[in-house]
Amino acid sequence: MLLTGTVVAASETVLQDGAVVVSGDRIEAVGSRADLEAQYADHEHQSYDVLLPGLVGGHIHSVQSLGRGIADDTELLDWLFDYILPMEASLTAEEMEVAAKLGYLEMIESGTTTCIDHLSVAHADRAFEAAGEIGIRGVLGKVLMDQRSPDGLLEDTQAALDESERLIQQYHGAYNDRIRYAVTPRFAVSCSEACLRGARELADKYDGVRIHTHASENQSEIETVKEDTGMRNIHWLDEVGLTGEDVVLAHCVWTDESEREVLAETGTHVTHCPSSNMKLASGIAPIWDYRDRGINVAIGNDGPPCNNTLDAFTEMRQASLLQKVDQLDPTVTPAAEIFEMATRNGAKAAGFEKLGAIREGWRADIVGLDTDRTRATPLHDVLSHLVFAAHGDDVRFTMVDGNVLMEHGEVTTIDADAVRSRASTMGLEMDLEDARKSAQEQKP
C-alpha cells in the first residue's frame, strides 16, 4: 500500500509532501511523494493530510469502559473502592468482552495503535480475544489482587499466579506477536508480599513478559504502603523485584529524591497520566525531573471512569500544559518531546522494537489524519498541531502491523455500531449495590 501526505516520521523528521510504502507488516520505503508514486505506481494508494506513527497508550484500562462517568468528582481510594472495584467485580464474561471491545474501538478510532492494558481479575481471556479480533497491538495482563479486595476480585495468591501463567502460555506472542503479556499486580495496597514477589518470579520465567502496576499515585496509597511495610512505595516495589527495564509503573506522582534515583538506576519505565491525575486531584507527576534523570516516560489515558476519554491527542496536550504550569516555565515539555513520549517512549515501555516511528524496516503501525478543520487553520507547525490542537476524531486511517483497521473513518475489523449499542445497554443495566458493600468493607 502507498500512503501519501505530510509524513511525521518522528519528532525530528517531517516530510511535507511525503509518502510511505507498506509491504506486509513492515514499512518498505519512506520518501518524497513524487519519487514513491512513480516507483510504486501499481500499489493501492490512499492519501491523508498527515501521516504519523501510531500512538501508544502507556497505561490503559480498557475493561473499565462501561463505567465512563459513574465516578466523577471523587478521591482516588473512594473512586476505586466505592465505584470501580464494585463495577469490575460485577462484570460477567460477556460484559468484560464488550467493555474491552469498546475500549479498543475507541483507541483505534482515535489513533492509538498500541496499549499497555491493565485488565481485571476475572475473564481476562475475553479481553485478549477482543484485542485479537479488533487488531490492536497490546501488552495485556490479568490483574492480581490477594488482599484488601472485595468479593469477586479477591483471589488466592497461588491461584492468581497460576491463572496468569496459563494466560502467558496461551496469549504471549499471539496474533503474530501483536499481543504480549504483562504480569499485572493492581498495586501494593491490594497485593501481599508473596504476590508481588511471585509476579517477579513469573515474569522472569518467560522471555519478553513485562510487569505493569500502579505506583505512588496518591498520598493515601503511600501512607498505607508505609504502614504495611515501613517503606515508601518505590522502595518497597524495588525490594520485592518490581523495578527494572521490564517494569512499567503508572503515575509515580509522589516520589522523593531517593525513589527517583531508584527509578533511574533500574531503568524502570514511568507512564504519565495527566488527565486522570488532575481529575482525581492526585497531584502533578514530576515529569520534567524524570526526563532530566534519563527515566523513560510514556503517556497514558488511564481508564474512562477517571478520564472519560481514551483520546491520546487530548492526553498529549494535557501532559505538556500541566508541566508548564507546574514549573511556571513555558519552555518545558515542548511539542516534540511530548510526541516522543506518545510514540517511541511508549513503544519502549511496551517492549516492542522498531515501533513508534515511520522508518524503513519498522513495524507498519500508521495513523492518517485530516486537517480540514477550523482549528487546524493556518497550519504553521504540524507537530504543534498534533500535540496542542488535534483531536482523536480527526483520525481517518489506522493501520497496525500492515493491517488496515480503519480507513476513511470507518472501522473495518468489527461492527462498531453493534459494539456501541451493546455497551450502552450493558452499562445502563449495571447494578453495583451488592458489590459496592463488599468493596467498602475492604477500603484501607
Residue 437 has pLDDT above 70, yes or no: no
* pLDDT computed for residue 71 by the predictor: 86
What pLDDT does 77 receive?
83
Kind and range of the H or E element at 318? helix 312-327
386-424 tens-digit pLDDT? 999 999 999 999 999 999 999 999 999 999 999 999 999
Check residue 4 and give its pLDDT: 98
Q: Find the mean pLDDT for residues 377-393.
A: 97
The per-residue pLDDT for 434 is 62
Nearest 5°: the CA angle 20, 352, 370 is 35
Structure confidence at residue 442 as a pLDDT band (50, 70, 90): low
Q: What's the average model confidence in pLDDT over 189-202?
A: 98
Q: What angle do CA 172, 173, 174 make, to 5 degrees?
A: 95
Quick one: pLDDT at residue 415?
97
The pLDDT of residue 78: 87
- Beta strands 297-299 and 269-272: pairing type? parallel
- For residue 14, the model assigns a pLDDT of 97
Is residue 428 over pLDDT 90? no
- Please say whether the beta carbons of 65 and 302 come within 8 A: no
Q: What is the 3-state secondary structure (H, E, C) of 431-442?
A: CCHHHHHHHHHC
Residue with cell 495496597: 189
Task: Please state the separation of Cα 442 from the chain's center in Å.
Answer: 28
Q: What is the mean pLDDT of residues 374-388?
A: 97
* Strands 2-10 and 13-23, bridge-based pairing: antiparallel
Distance from C-alpha of 134 to C-alpha of 117, rounded to nearest angstrom: 15
pLDDT at 435 over 60: no
DSSP, res 26:
E
Task: Reply yes or no on domain 2-53+363-409 having CATH 3.90.226.10.
Answer: no
What is this structure's pTM?
0.96
pLDDT in tens, 268-295: 999 999 999 999 999 999 999 999 999 9
pLDDT (0 to 100) of residue 194: 98
Least confident of 71-80, 120-129, 134-143, 351-360: 71-80
Domain ranges of the chain: 2-53+363-409, 55-350
Q: What is the pLDDT of residue 429?
A: 81
- pLDDT of amino acid 443: 66
In whole angstroms, what is the distance from residue 358 CA to residue 345 CA?
14
Cα–Cα dist 443/190, whole Å: 10
Q: Do strands 45-53 and 2-10 pair parallel, antiparallel, or not at all (unpaired)?
A: parallel
Confidence of residue 430 (pLDDT cuts 50, 70, 90): confident
Q: Supply the pLDDT for residue 76.
A: 83
Question: How do beta strands 395-400 and 366-369 pair?
Answer: antiparallel
Using a pLDDT cut of 90, give the percent of the chain over it.
Answer: 92
Neighbour count for residue 159 (Cβ, 10 Å) = 10
Q: What is the mean pLDDT of the chain?
A: 96
pLDDT above 90: residue 440: no
Look-up: residue for cell 504550569? 325
One-letter amino acid at 64 equals Q
pLDDT digits (tens, 9 = 90+) for 11-57: 999 999 999 999 999 999 999 999 999 999 999 999 999 999 999 99
Q: At what angle do helices 157-171 and 124-134 cross, to 10 degrees?
A: 20
CA-CA distances (angstroms) from residue 397 to 202, 368, 394, 411? 38, 5, 9, 9
Q: Residue 432: is its pLDDT beyond 80?
A: no
Is CATH 3.40.228.10 the classification given to domain 55-350? no
